[in-house]
Structure 1
């Protein structure tokens, strides 16, 4: 489906170009330099109503150079990583640095924090898939969904496959690369009743294509998810428990990560400033990252500063145990990098897990949220307000679908009011989570 991609040869080439950029920066008078280069290649095909809609092939590459002249910093980048372009990028970065103000926190991460071990994390699994084979997979997925009684239309099915290489180096002598792949299969379907149309979808996303869910299973699941939304009503308004489906609970974890990220903290733009050691969740809840987990979606041996990655506990026994820091944000806060330049990797919850049935029984009466809309989250205050859709729950049983309502609260209160976590863990992304049951939220419906 794509042109041949020799990841090993691409890594060797990128390493040579990064080394060249570092040497040119040294010759041109930079006190320190760091360079990142990457190349990615992939293909996407989509079908709709039994016909091929799109076949897209893409190849992207780039190089980014950051230089330090004293405490002055300059950055420049280019999508052309040829020799002439590299020199031009380095020269531009140095020119920018000479005209910027000094920043005491600027500079490379400390040399002693550089990664020195690079285990095979098994995140690169090329897929030798032809265009015809990809079309067959997408058609099989869509056809399985359209064959389910009640499905009226389709928004299509798609196959995506890509792999890439990234290399990072700096003037500490650090130079390393990592290869990776990502493959997915998805389907979105439409159903109709007297109230109008409803749509929903399902997908599978993996590093190793051998682990993709079958196209038939994805199509049927997309159909079932679509049909169960027919007959939606607006829920009652009140203070109610809310259960977030696994995909939605992952979003809550991302809000937490944004609040403990060093950039938000040193700007004092987080509701979790000065929160280290303070209670945030119930005592039975812990949350950490496992950046070197074999085969996981965000595994890496080093972060974007070249700092070695390690397991970090961000919440331990309900208390904020660590911030999420790059070299720069750590300096701004008077702390040490946690190996999180570029974000957290492979978030995992440590908590007693309950079945969805147990969580629904504990809820009694409330709403199960399966879709969220809008961007109503204030990272400074923690105020939370989102449009939602899902299901009404009464006496611990799902009664009917609901839509066109709002859920609201404050993340501090929501985290403290976490009643349970489900064992229905969504493993398709970097954040692995089951359902979250949160008490006492405002639900505004009809």
Structure 2
């Protein structure tokens, strides 16, 4: 692992599958092959718990007869002709979908950029085991750590091959290397747990096992002896970057075209209006070189251009695939993602762009408030925007982090929260969703 994707062979099979579908009676068709290779090692308390390896090539075929559509999938070794004929037979008895169809031919990628997504470094199982053990050893060596939740290291690759009946043929591959460890600090009823991790496209860019282990231990120890705080209203809450990334993911869900079409987003009627605090920008860039979620073309063969989804607080774009765009009377922006046999819109390298203030100054300006390091449960109603989630973190007093707090709930409405965000300058763009430390004013805290 990873092995370079055998694009020529897979492209040939996908092309055969499309031609057989047309021969069987389809008017249009596309075929996708998703290739994955991975191996990983997990350890706990100095012993290997599992060593895993997997390989798969998953074929999917979509066929269209007018507005009737059917999709089938299979593993390697299937009969190409039989699969194509089955898909066409299914399409003939399927109800019409007014928005179904391939992407417009004029939108298809003519060139496929090299985004440097693939690192051919072959990491052995022995090396993965050594990394996992080193992470755990580093974490357990920190005074105050009492137990281990385990550590793991993995290496893998994924590849996509796409062929359509109207002229697109392409493939790309990406690698992925990751390390993670979780530990417990304290004893008895006063135990606290936490974790740390890193994930990169290039093996040499991974944080060292020792650094990851140390960070996990320090996070767990900082949480010891938490207190509860009184219920409060109109409180400023600060999200550390790990939590802020999840919050930005919530924003992405609210501007996903599929949610808008289903009327399950509270922002569905807000295109062209201010939805975030003035000065805030959310960008999405599928063409970032070595980007964690980059792709030279989407699941329909379209090059997605970098977009500012929300500019100066104003909503400018939905995430769109072809079918979702048709339903909304718009044009796709190349955000279609294959999920099994379906295509749905999704973000790529998404970022809430940073501000000018340091996280230390941001916290100092809060005075009294809450700094959240972890959130529990879902508690988000995307139709109304109501937001209520369990949280833990640290109390802010006189502009400084003081004691740990837990067993609290923070609540507000996303419409209000979006208009009260202040962002720091500490963004880390190594993940597919990037966000700096951010503060949100006017939240309610349910505590004692």
Report runs of 4+ in structure 1 exceeding 3 Å deviation.
none
Give the secondary-structure state (helix, strand or coil) at the position aligned to 1:280.
coil
Verify: 1:373 aligned to 2:368, yes or no.
no
2:4 to 4, 7, 29: 7
- Name the structure 1 match of 2:67: 71
Residue in 2 that maps onto 1:437: 439
Cα separation, 2, equivalents of 1:94 and 1:411:
45
- Alpha-carbon distance, 1:153 to partner: 0.7
**Are the counterparts in 2 of residues 284 and 351 from structure 1 also a CA contact under 8 Å?**
no
- For the 8 Å contact 1:115–1:309, the answer to whether it is kept is no
What is the rounded CA distance, in whole Å, between the counterparts of 2:256 and 2:173 in structure 1? 26
Q: How does 1:361-440 map to 2 (within 5 A)?
A: 361-418=364-421, 420-440=422-442
For each residue in 1:270-320, what CA deviation from the matched residue of structure 2 results, as whole angstroms up to 9, or x when unmatched? 101121110111221111111111101011111111111101111011110
Q: CA deviation at 1:77?
A: 0.8
Report the number of matched residues.
439
Structure 2 counterparts to residues 303-314 of structure 1, below 5 A: 303-314=298-309
Measure, in 2, the Cα distance between the counterparts of 1:218 and 1:282.
Answer: 35
Kindly report which structure 2 residues correspond to 1:9-408, keeping only aligned pairs within 5 A, or say none.
10-78=6-74, 80-82=75-77, 84=79, 86-193=80-187, 195-239=189-233, 240-342=235-337, 343-408=346-411
> In 1, distance between residues paired with 2:194 and 2:78?
48
Structure 2 contact 109–303 (Cα < 8 Å) conserved: yes
- Contact preservation (8 Å) 1:195, 1:231: no
Alignment check: 8 A CA contact 2:140 2:148 kept: yes
Q: How far 1:15 moved relative to its partner? A: 0.6
Which stretch has the larger CA shift, 121-130 or 317-326?
121-130
1:202-242 per-residue CA deviation (whole Å, 9 max, x = no partner) reads 11110000000011111111110010000111122112111
TM-score between both structures, scaled by the size of structure 1: 0.96
Distance 2:388 2:273 in 1: 25
- Offset at 1:351? 4.2
d(CA) in 2 for partners of 1:89 and 1:394? 65
Cα distance in structure 2, aligned partners of 1:170 and 1:178: 15
Separation (CA, whole Å) in 1 of partners of 2:334 and 2:54? 31
**Residue ranges of structure 2 left out of the alignment (5+ in a row):** 338-345
Q: Is the 8 A contact 1:247 1:426 kept in 2?
A: no
The farther-off stretch of 210-219 and 190-199 is: 190-199
TM-score w.r.t. structure 2 length? 0.95
Q: In 2, are the aligned partners of 1:14 and 1:38 still within 8 Å (CA)?
A: no
Structure 1: stretches of 5+ with no match in the other structure:
none
Instruction: Quote the Cα distance in structure 1 between the aligned partners of 2:208 and 2:299.
Output: 35
Helix, strand or coil for the counterpart of 1:429? coil
Per-residue CA deviation, residues 32-58 of structure 1 (Å, 9 max, x unaligned), is 011110111111101111111110111
Aligned counterparts of 1:151 and 1:427: Cα–Cα separation in 2: 30
